[in-house]
Amino acid sequence: MSGVGQRKTKDEVKEALKGIAAEMHNKMERGVPPSMTLPVRAKTNIGFDNKLGVYKYGKKKSTRDATSLGSARQLLRSLHVTEFIEQMIDSGKSSTLREMYYISEAWGHGKFGSQNESNNLAEDLEIVTKCLREDFKLRPEEDGARIIGNVTFEERNRKGDWMRINCRDDVGDSGYGVPYNVESEKLTLVEEDVDFIMAIETGGMFDRLVENGFDEEARCALIHLKGQPARSTRRIMKRMSQEWNKPIIVFADCDPWSFRIYASIAYGAIKTAHISEYLATKGAQYLGITADDILAYDLPSDDLTKQDLSALDSELTDPRFNTGYWKDQINLMKEIGKKAEQQSLAKYGLDFVTDTYLPEKLKEIGLGY
Amino acid sequence: MGGPSGGNIMVDARDISGKQKQIAVSEFFEKNKHFLGFDSLQRSLITAVKESVDNSLDACEEARILPNIVVEINRLKGEDIELITQDNGPGIPRDAIENVFGKFLLGSRFHAIRQTRGQQGIGITGVVMYAQLTTGAKTRVISKIATDSSAVFVELGLDTRKNKAIKSKERREVWIDEGTGEEIRHGLKISTIMKAKYQRGKQSVYQYLRMTSIVNPHATISLIVRGKDGEVLEEGKWIRTSEKLPRVVEEIKPHPHGIQLGTLQRMLRESEQRKMTSFLRHNFSGVSVRAAKEVLAVSEIEDERVPKRINSEDAKKLIASFQKVKLLPPPTDCLSPIDDLLIKKGLSKAIDSRFASTVTRLPAVSQGNPFQIEVGLVFGGDISADGPIEVLRFANRVPLMYQQGGCALTKAIESIDWKRYGLDHPGGKGLPKGAAAVLIHLASTNVQFTSEAKEAVADNEEVFDEIRKGLLEVGRGLKNHLKKKDQRKKAKEKFELVNVILPEIAKKTSKILGRNEPDLAPVITQIMNAVFCEEELSWDKERKLATCSIKIFNYTARARAYTILLKWPENENVSMVENSNGGRKEARGIWAWRLDTLNPGTSTTISVALSGLSKGDWTDTDVFFRGNGDIIGATKIDEKILEEIRKSEALSAIRNEISESEIQEINDVETKDLEFDNEEEIRTDGINIFADFEEGSE
């Protein structure tokens, strides 16, 4: 696994999890409240890692100790989850985070209050043990992406056989569905005949480009992100970029939330900064839609809401957007007070995006065809 | 009496009948209907119900009967409404019926000075008049007194020229209750038809009866309203929560401080006494022999002058000297407060809430008129949290439903900074907002209203101050309640943490690691690091005892020693029948226990049981402590304030002795020792004083 620490063996994972219990137990033996130490997961505690080229957590730590009821419950839950993961590892099963949430019903005082709590705790455990969620046999509920284009993968199916799939010839209109685990034990990147990979935020635009045959015309693979991209989506992009050495281009709406989608692909997400080097694709480029495009193409637009404005302000203090390009875009957007969707390009007809907009924009970044 | 305003109506009405002027009473009624309460169709119905219910309550009170009152309203054709009211009161003797229903402002009420409901209305005659004027209907009356073998059935109309009732269809018959089929032994039923309108809302018959039930917890009141087809439109039933009738109020003579020239001249004119000192002593309250002599000396009037011959110049001098000479305050047993415990019951009967705090202030005097303020506050539960709080205003147990904004009672509420007491009070102006209702009851021999409509109490500094003091007390109660609720929640969480979650964590880590379970005591001490106190009040159904248990946990690393003090509702009827730890009385309503040393990680429990209370009487209390180091869930006691309680206790003991003897006759006792200053009144039940301290320390 390039860029990521060695994947751990079952025993190593179990040992790492035991470390959590040991920290608590040792503290209690010393007569102090049990605790768990975690990095602060906020934008104030992420910094650029020069060596990895992505954003990682800084040095700020928070200690979750059993001096308040809420924290004590979290600790108890962590122990229940630890036990549960051990059982799954031993029995060769896996479960979704949602299933774990329901299983926790039987954990008495350790049960989860909401699905969100179980998701966050799984991430906490990753951070503390330096293992991956995949190591814990925990699957996300979230949908993986769809891919269309002339690229070929081998995926190991349920019977354990490797299946060869070409994402142009062997799939229907909905494309190849990316599985939740895209590590080498499950997926191999076989061959490609494309010049770049384009990640598209909305389903409507993905379908438009597929219908217009843009993948063949521009010699690219198209990936539908489905909003904020799942971990497996970011991971497969990272692998395609690294193993095939292809540029990643992001095509999204022009609004503050889309900017964050881009940042999570290019620099790493705040929530998963512990594994940024594993998920983020250094050098991914933002193609559009930009605030400049709204003016240059005179696109139909909506007024920014109060929430949009505060999201933009928050981005101005986010280290990931601390570049001249992003500051200009964000400030311009605030200035014109507008946002626009990808599909607003349809103002000039269904083919405008593939005939005019994308060729023009790609040419700007040296990917003209 | 009803003070200056009531007096004026009386004079008018009597002039009409007395001087035989050819003005019909109906004309008087027509002219004055706005302040008689018959100015709109909606209000007329409320007024009619009010006159009838007030009469029933007064009559039952005098006859010492627990009232059952039924009000029935039936919509007939057009705007006609049939109103039926029935009570289980003493009934009216046959010969008195004409007077009660046929004369405006029947005399007797207006001579004696005491607190009655009736001072606010024109009487049931107004209802008979209104019905006759609007629909021509006669008022049907059934009256049964216990000593008669049968009831009187009669129909009444009014001869408006002679201010007299006309009886018709009179008969005697056994009165059978339609519901039970049993004979009714005593009671009164009135039914009549009038033009009126039934409406729901803040100003409705329903609201009037609901409010009435709050301040008359000894009454059971029910209401049924039917539409034109007999369908039930609205229903209400308020069952009595107390078997205790309001005490019989004494009539008192007027106090010189409240007397006006006209009244004084009339009293002089009508007096039988031959000497001025005896005139003063026998016609006024609060005037001792010595004070009477002083008054005469100051006004330069000889004792030998015959009162009848005092001219208006001298009468004026007398009035002036009344203000200069030190007088005893008027007696206050002419007042009938509801009693804070009963208000609490009344409020809880009408409003479902989580917290109720009530205060009955000691009687005070304003311009020679004794008055007494009672305040109640309920919070939480079913009360709507949107919008301003509900204001429940009462004067002499009668609900005030109109002109809320212009009423001194409302203004007193608005003058408090409610934010400090935990209510939302935007801008500190107007009424506070939140899930609360505030009740104010003004009991007085002379309620001064802003107008003849008698719906808003007029501004009066002393009354205003007393209300404010009462409100501050209940406000502090609310604040304590909210603070305690918060503390309790936190303590509960900590207990769950160390007693449930932490042992589970230890069990899990031991299991996962295959190691022995650690000793948690030092961990618990470090997490809690405090002494906790939890009190629990409950009701022992079997033995009819109110119980309280106080548990003290020492979760610190050091041994602790404390004295724990408990506030309890001590009075003549309530006593501590069980007490696990002995201890001693610190002051009235405060019991103290000196605890043995409490070692780290240990706890101890004190339990007491009180007799003489009923369920729901003791639902909230305070625990105090004396000693080093805080206790979460208890308040450190302020010794100075404890001292004040003891002092005021001694003071009230002296006062009780005095009130038992005839104050008027004790002339050898120094007057100034007897005068109690209302401003400095210290209540002896403790609660509020501790709260005062807490506030001062902020």
- The shortest CB-CB distance from B505 to any of A18, A24, A68 is to A24
Q: Is the pLDDT of residue B675 over 60?
A: no
Bridge partner residues of B7 (DSSP): none
Q: State the Cα angle at B92 between B90 and B97, rounded to 5°.
A: 170
- Contacting residues of B for A24, CB less than 8 Å apart: 505, 509
- pLDDT level of residue B72 (50, 70, 90 thresholds): very high
Query: B275 and B197 in one domain?
Result: no
Spatial contact of B646 and B314, defined as CB atoms under 8 Å apart:
no
Contact A28/B500, CB-based, under 8 Å?
no
Name the domain boundary from A104, A120, A139. Answer: A139
Q: Quick one: closest CA in A to B493, which residue?
A: A69
Residue B185 placed within a domain: yes
- pLDDT level of residue A302 (50, 70, 90 thresholds): very high
Contact A68/B510, CB-based, under 8 Å?
no
What pLDDT was estimated at residue B116? 58
Contact A66/B509, CB-based, under 8 Å?
no
Q: How many domains is chain B partitioned into structurally?
A: 5
A308-343 residues labelled b (16+ CB within 10 A) or e (exposed): beebbeebeebbbbeeeebeebbeebbeeebbbbbe
Query: B662 and B602 in one domain?
Result: no
**Burial class (CB within 10 angstroms; exposed 0-12, middle 13-18, buried 19+) of B487:** middle
Residue span of the structural domain in which B663 resides = 642-696
Among A355-364, B218-227, B673-682, the minimum mean pLDDT is found in B673-682
- Contacting residues of A for B518, CB less than 8 Å apart: 25, 28-29
What pLDDT was estimated at residue A6? 56
Contact A109/B506, CB-based, under 8 Å?
no
User: Please, which residues 505-544 of chain B have a Cβ atom closer than 8 Å to chain A?
Assistant: 505-506, 508-513, 515, 518-520, 522-523, 526-527
Query: A166 and A125 in one domain?
Result: no
Query: A180 and A112 in one domain?
Result: no
Q: Is A62 on the interface with B (CB under 8 A)?
A: no
Residue A121 placed within a domain: yes
Mutation site, B488, B507, B512, B519, interface A, largest A CB count within 10 A: B512
Kindly state the average pLDDT of the residues B511-521: 91
Residue A4 placed within a domain: no
Distance from CA of A36 to the nearest CA of B (A): 12
- pLDDT level of residue B685 (50, 70, 90 thresholds): very low
Distance from C-alpha of A215 to C-alpha of A358, rounded to nearest angstrom = 12
**Before B416, cis peptide (omega within 30)?**
no
Residue B661 placed within a domain: yes
Query: A233 and A324 in one domain?
Result: yes
Distance from C-alpha of B472 to C-alpha of B361, rounded to nearest angstrom = 12
Kindly state the average pLDDT of the residues B388-406: 89
Residue B626 carries which side chain, given as an amino acid letter? R
Distance from C-alpha of B107 to C-alpha of B124, rounded to nearest angstrom = 14
CB atoms within 10 A of CB B264: 21
CATH number of the domain where residue A34 is located = 1.10.10.10
Query: B620 and B592 in one domain?
Result: yes
Contact A33/B526, CB-based, under 8 Å?
yes
- pLDDT level of residue B140 (50, 70, 90 thresholds): very high
CB atoms within 10 A of CB B479: 18
Contact A18/B512, CB-based, under 8 Å?
yes
Contact B518/A76, CB-based, under 8 Å?
no
Token readout for B46 is 């409320």
Distance from C-alpha of A88 to C-alpha of A81, rounded to nearest angstrom = 10
For helices A10-29 and A115-129, angle between their N-to-C axes, nearest 10 degrees: 100
Segments of chain A assigned E as strands: 35-39, 46-49, 54-57, 61-65, 95-96, 138-139, 146-148, 151-156, 162-166, 176-177, 187-192, 196-200, 220-224, 248-251, 285-288, 302-303, 338-339
Residue A18 placed within a domain: yes
CB atoms within 10 A of CB A55: 25
Average pLDDT of chain B to the nearest whole number: 81
Residue A5 placed within a domain: no
- pLDDT level of residue B594 (50, 70, 90 thresholds): very high
Kindly state the average pLDDT of the residues B527-553: 90
User: Please, which residues 91-130 of chain A have a Cβ atom closer than 8 Å to chain B?
Assistant: 108-110
Q: Is A66 on the interface with B (CB under 8 A)?
A: yes
- The shortest CB-CB distance from B518 to any of A28, A72, A75 is to A28
SS3 (DSSP) at A246: coil
Residue A336 placed within a domain: yes
Name the domain boundary from B451, B480, B509. Answer: B480
Contact B509/A83, CB-based, under 8 Å?
no
Distance from CA of B518 to the nearest CA of A (A): 5
Residue A234 placed within a domain: yes
Distance from C-alpha of B576 to C-alpha of B546, rounded to nearest angstrom = 9
- Contacting residues of B for A25, CB less than 8 Å apart: 506, 509-510, 513, 515, 518
Kindly state the average pLDDT of the residues B512-519: 92
Higher pLDDT, B488 or B6: B488
Distance from C-alpha of A236 to C-alpha of A146, rounded to nearest angstrom = 11
Query: A327 and A286 in one domain?
Result: yes
Contact A69/B512, CB-based, under 8 Å?
no
pLDDT digits (tens, 9 = 90+) for A16-47: 899 999 999 999 999 999 999 888 888 888 88
Distance from CA of B508 to the nearest CA of A (A): 7
Distance from C-alpha of A4 to C-alpha of A279, rounded to nearest angstrom = 9
- Contacting residues of A for B515, CB less than 8 Å apart: 25
Distance from C-alpha of B292 to C-alpha of B310, rounded to nearest angstrom = 16
**Burial class (CB within 10 angstroms; exposed 0-12, middle 13-18, buried 19+) of A11:** exposed
Residue span of the structural domain in which A336 resides = 146-364
Q: How many domains is chain A partitioned into structurally?
A: 2
Distance from C-alpha of B181 to C-alpha of B175, rounded to nearest angstrom = 10
- Contacting residues of A for B523, CB less than 8 Å apart: 28, 31-34, 66
Q: Is B367 on the interface with A (CB under 8 A)?
A: no
Distance from C-alpha of B65 to C-alpha of A331, rounded to nearest angstrom = 82
Q: Which of A49, A83, A275 is nearest to A183 (CA)?
A: A275
Spatial contact of B190 and B85, defined as CB atoms under 8 Å apart:
yes
Residue A3 placed within a domain: no
- Contacting residues of B for A106, CB less than 8 Å apart: none
Query: B60 and B195 in one domain?
Result: yes
Q: Is A256 on the interface with B (CB under 8 A)?
A: no
What pLDDT was estimated at residue B655? 59
CATH number of the domain where residue A199 is located = 3.40.1360.10
Query: A265 and A155 in one domain?
Result: yes
Report the Cα–Cα distance between both ends of chain B, in Å, rounded: 47
Contact A76/B508, CB-based, under 8 Å?
yes
Residue A24 carries which side chain, given as an amino acid letter? M
Name the domain boundary from B184, B205, B238. Answer: B238
- Contacting residues of A for B555, CB less than 8 Å apart: none
Query: B648 and B624 in one domain?
Result: no
Mutation site, B505, B507, B555, interface A, largest A CB count within 10 A: B505
User: Which ipTM was obtained for this model?
Assistant: 0.74
- The shortest CB-CB distance from B501 to any of A32, A72, A82 is to A72
Tell me, yes or no, if A348 is annotated catalytic: no
CATH number of the domain where residue B157 is located = 3.30.565.10
Distance from C-alpha of B625 to C-alpha of B604, rounded to nearest angstrom = 14
Q: Is A157 on the interface with B (CB under 8 A)?
A: no
Spatial contact of B284 and B267, defined as CB atoms under 8 Å apart:
no
Residue A2 placed within a domain: no
Query: B599 and B472 in one domain?
Result: no
| Catalytic one of A102, A176, A325, A348 | A102
- pLDDT level of residue B657 (50, 70, 90 thresholds): low
Contact B526/A21, CB-based, under 8 Å?
no
Distance from C-alpha of A118 to C-alpha of A120, rounded to nearest angstrom = 5
- The shortest CB-CB distance from B523 to any of A33, A75, A83 is to A33
Q: Is the pLDDT of residue A116 over 70?
A: yes
Query: A191 and A96 in one domain?
Result: no
Contact B512/A29, CB-based, under 8 Å?
no
pLDDT digits (tens, 9 = 90+) for B423-456: 888 888 889 998 889 999 998 888 888 877 778 8
SS3 (DSSP) at B86: strand
Distance from C-alpha of A92 to C-alpha of B642, rounded to nearest angstrom = 71
Contact A80/B508, CB-based, under 8 Å?
yes
Spatial contact of B308 and B330, defined as CB atoms under 8 Å apart:
no
Query: B134 and B81 in one domain?
Result: yes
Spatial contact of A98 and A141, defined as CB atoms under 8 Å apart:
yes
**Which contiguous run of DSSP H or E holds residue B237?**
strand B232-238
Bridge partner residues of A220 (DSSP): A196
Higher pLDDT, B552 or A52: B552
Q: Is B496 on the interface with A (CB under 8 A)?
A: yes
DSSP label at B687? Answer: H
Contact A25/B513, CB-based, under 8 Å?
yes
pTM of the prediction? 0.64
- The shortest CB-CB distance from B493 to any of A28, A69, A108 is to A69
Residue B330 placed within a domain: no
Q: Which of A86, A168, A24 is nearest to B517 (CA)?
A: A24
